Amino acid sequence: MPQDKKKAVFQVDGITCMDCAQKFEKEVNELPGIRKASLNKLTGKLIVEGITDLQLIQKLGQGEGYTIHLVMQKQRTKTGPPKKTNWELRRAVLSGLSLAVAYGLEKFGGSGMPFLPVYAMAIVLGGWSNFRKAVLALPRLNFNMSVLMSVAVIGALAIGQYEEGATVAFLYAISELLEAWTMEKARRSIRQLMDITPKTARLLHVGNEIEVPVEEINVQDIMVIRPGEKIAMDGEIVKGESAINQSAITGESLPVEKGPGAEVFAGTINTYGSLEVKVTKLVQDTAIAKIIHMVEEAQAKRAPSQAFVEKFAAVYTPVVMVLAVGILFIPPLFLGYEWTPWIYRSLTLLVVACPCALVVSTPVAIVSAISNAAQNGVLIKGGIYLEEVGSLSAIAFDKTGTLTRGELVVTDIVPLGSIETDQLLQIAANLETRSEHPIAKSIIKAAQSKGGQAVPAEDFAAVPGRGVQGKISQRMVYLGNSRLFNELGISLESVSKELDRLQAEGKTVMILGTKDAFLGMIAVADEVRQSSAATVAALKKAGIQHVIMLTGDNADTAKAVAAKAGVDEYRAELLPQDKLTAVQELLNKYGKVAMVGDGINDAPALALSTVGIAMGGAGTDTALETADIALMADDLTKLPFTIRLSRKALTVIRQNITFSLLIKAFAILAVFPGWLTLWLAILADMGATIIVTLNSLRLLRTRAKEEKRAA
């Protein structure tokens, strides 16, 4: 690969200020040889395209107090760096104690100024990391928060406001600790996904069991999974049966019974049986690895509100800094005011110049919502899609495999004459046992469920497009559609009423009979999911105004399914290209429209819609790649949950942005009459940042089961 197209992944630890991280990302992008650099501010993952110089990037990071290291492919599943002594906390505590002692000495220490060295100690302890970052950032003309704080503290000392300077240093140290704590809570939601899978697995090797790190496991290796253990890798069961708890991947509340040949996923739990599982995917290719990667990368697809905030912040900081310079010089030089009060006000305005709360207002809310959705079996591939879902006015569903189960089942067995129901079904199964047609499989399955054992008919023959025939008890019996009997010259007049009734219900009807008499009819249909009607009702309750079904089936079948599912309208007999046209028409008619399909044959329609939602993402790579949102289990009830979660996220984002802007506006206006002190400015900035972060973290409490009950 050419050097300028190479990708390198770095881990950036120590991010507490989103605005500062944004500036760091911009500086990395400006380094020579780098085509593009993208920093996920919450996870700390930095992806760099082009010629990279680790030492140069690390030097840039020092200006913000970041620790940066190269991430190797095999290290992606490992935990973060080891815990270090929290010197920032110790210095903050000592700074607070020094500030209290200095204040006591100033008020009650008598003559002289014994408090000055103690105030100085409080400033050095509280502002140590701040000053260090400022020294590294200032030569690059990077006016980050550390530079602004350092100027404010030094300025306060210069005009004799020792108490103010020490208070600012102490409060900013506390502010950074609290911001780091709240940011860590946001990161933890993603780390919980990473911690789902075990770091080692037990392999069967020459008759013995050995424990091996997951990075060293290869495809075709055999894992031994004991009862109660987590499965470490995606694979296929080769021995044993058990119920697998897949809630971590698919959000399903009940364990799924599985046996030999069934697929299992890393991060799921084996409940009661002992299993031997053949590994089918390497650790970086497992379903959970893809989910984690997509959740991490979701931040890169910025939501409209996030793009607005970042543009606003880029303009806001330099404007406020220019205003601070104006306040410093204009009143004393041109209006004859004293220098000291206006220097103080200028310093206060500098403190307000960093839009921390505003910058953090959107991404934490988005990541909290996306992480929560992933833990509930819904993969949202970007903040832009999270916001779009909340503003949908219509949802279009594919029928087969979405509103229906996607497999034919026997719905009606209608004997004609003296034959019993079970006998009729058994004769049909005997005829179909050598057929590979989906209808044949559904009839055989129905017979087996009643305890029947199919015996192949003699002289079996398939009649393409019509049905089958064969000898049973030395008598030729036919099973097929009306065309088969018409071609045999047998009149359907005596059964036409019942035939029309079943077909009007959208069912495919197979007639069983001989040339002399009809024995009965068997109707099959693609069964509507039990959750479909409840989901459609819940979507309407959630504010979706129009629910549409798109299908390639005939109008009778479409009408019957639409009635059972409760959709507002349907369009039948559509080819894949017709679905594309239908989605375009819906977009023109209703504005924002989501398309829900299986992610394979619906790919064009999914891509054209405002938001493409794919079913069954856990085992389908196509669904993960095609759709903007994937339902990891075939659970339609997760759709209303996703809508509600999105709307809650939009509400939280609006609350955060409004609150942040009001706080900043009030702070700026309070500077001019002198109401805003330096320590109060720090307190306001710190408080606003923490409040919007905690408000965003509320989204982690939204649960899918609540929405399921509502549906």
Instruction: Give the residue carrying structure tokens 């881990």.
Output: 11
List the structure tokens of 251: 């959000």
**Pair 71, 91 in one domain:** no
**Pair 409, 312 in one domain:** no
Q: Quick check: is 636 in a domain?
A: no
Beta-carbon count within 10 A of 590 CB:
17
Q: Residue 299: pLDDT above 70?
A: no
pLDDT at site 474: 87
**Pair 164, 122 in one domain:** yes
Q: Quick check: is 157 in a domain?
A: yes
Cβ neighbours of residue 82 closer than 8 Å, sequence gap 6 or more = none
**Pair 9, 62 in one domain:** yes
Q: Quick check: is 583 in a domain?
A: no
Reported residue count of the chain is 711
Q: Quick check: is 502 in a domain?
A: yes
Cα–Cα dist 685/348, whole Å: 11
Q: Residue 295: pLDDT above 90?
A: no
Cα–Cα dist 688/355, whole Å: 10
**Pair 419, 523 in one domain:** yes
Q: Quick check: is 349 in a domain?
A: yes
pLDDT at site 80: 44
Global pTM exceeds 0.75: no
Rounded-to-10 torsion of CA 655, 661, 665, 668? 130
Question: 59-63, 501-505, 522-526, 666-670: which has the minimum mean pLDDT?
Answer: 59-63
Beta-carbon count within 10 A of 333 CB:
11
Q: Quick check: is 230 in a domain?
A: yes
pLDDT at site 73: 44
Nearest to 648 by CA among 248, 239, 373: 373
pLDDT at site 599: 56
Which one of 75, 104, 125 terminates a domain? Answer: 75
Decide if 372 contacts 185 (C-beta within 8 A): no
List the structure tokens of 71: 């991430």
Which amino acid type is present at position 434?
Answer: R
> Mean pLDDT in the chain?
82
pLDDT at site 251: 57
pLDDT at site 272: 85
Nearest to 611 by CA among 412, 433, 388, 396: 388
pLDDT at site 78: 42
pLDDT at site 69: 86
List the structure tokens of 701: 């409490």
List the structure tokens of 276: 């031997």
List the structure tokens of 344: 């103080």
Is the model more confident about 272 or about 512? 512
Binned at pLDDT 50, 70 and 90, residue 127 comes out as confident
Choose from 377-391, 469-483, 592-606 the range with maximum mean pLDDT: 469-483
Q: Residue 428: pLDDT above 90?
A: yes
The CATH number linked to 16 is 3.30.70.100
The pLDDT of 615-626, averaged and rounded, is 61
pLDDT at site 156: 80
**β 7-13/569-571 pair status:** unpaired
One DSSP character per residue, 451-499 reads T----PPEEEEEETTTEEEEEETTEEEEEE-HHHHHHTT---GGGHHHH
What is the distance, to the nearest Å, from the Cα of residue 324 to the centroid of all Cα atoms in its chain?
Answer: 42
**Pair 95, 169 in one domain:** yes
DSSP 8-state code for residue 418: S
Cα–Cα dist 654/648, whole Å: 10
**Pair 11, 147 in one domain:** no
Question: 378-392, 456-470, 614-628, 695-709: which has the minimum mean pLDDT?
Answer: 614-628
The CATH number linked to 271 is 2.70.150.10
Decide if 398 is catalytic: yes
**Pair 181, 301 in one domain:** yes
Q: How many domains does the chain have?
A: 4
If 0-12 CB within 10 Å is exposed, 13-18 middle and 19+ buried, where does residue 226 land? exposed
Q: Of 19, 234, 398, 526, which is the active-site residue?
A: 398
The CATH number linked to 500 is 3.40.1110.10
Decide if 41 contacts 22 (C-beta within 8 A): yes
CA angle 601, 607, 608 (to 5 degrees): 110
Binned at pLDDT 50, 70 and 90, residue 302 comes out as low
Decide if 406 contacts 628 (C-beta within 8 A): no
In this predicted model, what pLDDT tens digit does every residue of 168-195 receive, in sequence order?
Answer: 788 778 877 776 776 676 666 556 656 6
**Pair 155, 183 in one domain:** yes
Q: Quick check: is 451 in a domain?
A: yes
Radius of gyration in angstroms for the set of CA atoms belonging to the chain, rounded to a whole number? 34
**Pair 520, 440 in one domain:** yes
DSSP 8-state code for residue 9: E
Binned at pLDDT 50, 70 and 90, residue 566 comes out as very high
Taking each continuous run of H as one helix and of E as one strand, the counts in the chain are 25, 26
Q: What percent of the chain has pLDDT over 70?
A: 87
In this predicted model, what pLDDT tens digit does every residue of 413-422 receive, in sequence order?
Answer: 999 888 899 9
pLDDT at site 368: 83
**Pair 185, 304 in one domain:** yes
Cα–Cα dist 653/657, whole Å: 6
Decide if 118 contacts 128 (C-beta within 8 A): no
Q: Residue 277: pLDDT above 60?
A: yes
**Pair 216, 263 in one domain:** yes
In this predicted model, what pLDDT tens digit does every residue of 34-93 receive, in sequence order?
Answer: 888 888 777 788 888 888 888 888 888 877 778 888 876 444 434 444 455 567 788 888
Q: Which helix (H) or strand (E) element contains residue 242?
A: strand 242-245
Nearest to 164 by CA among 130, 134, 131, 127: 127
In this predicted model, what pLDDT tens digit does every residue of 625-645 receive, in sequence order?
Answer: 667 888 877 788 889 999 999
Question: 71-80, 319-328, 521-530, 657-666: which has the minimum mean pLDDT?
Answer: 71-80
Q: Which helix (H) or strand (E) element contains residue 687?
A: helix 678-697
In this predicted model, what pLDDT tens digit does every residue of 309-326 receive, in sequence order?
Answer: 767 767 877 888 888 889
Q: Residue 329: pLDDT above 50?
A: yes
Is the model more confident about 114 or about 691? 691
Instruction: Give the residue carrying structure tokens 């940042």.
Output: 689
DSSP 8-state code for residue 571: E
List the structure tokens of 591: 């504005």
List beta partners, residue 476. Answer: 471
Which one of 75, 108, 130 terminates a domain? Answer: 75
Nearest to 539 by CA among 662, 637, 671: 637
Q: Quick check: is 510 in a domain?
A: yes
Which one of 479, 508, 527 terminates a domain? Answer: 527
Domain that holds residue 673: 87-190+297-364+651-701
What are the backbone angles phi and psi of residue 192, rounded to the nearest 5°? -60, -35
Decide if 232 contacts 198 (C-beta within 8 A): yes
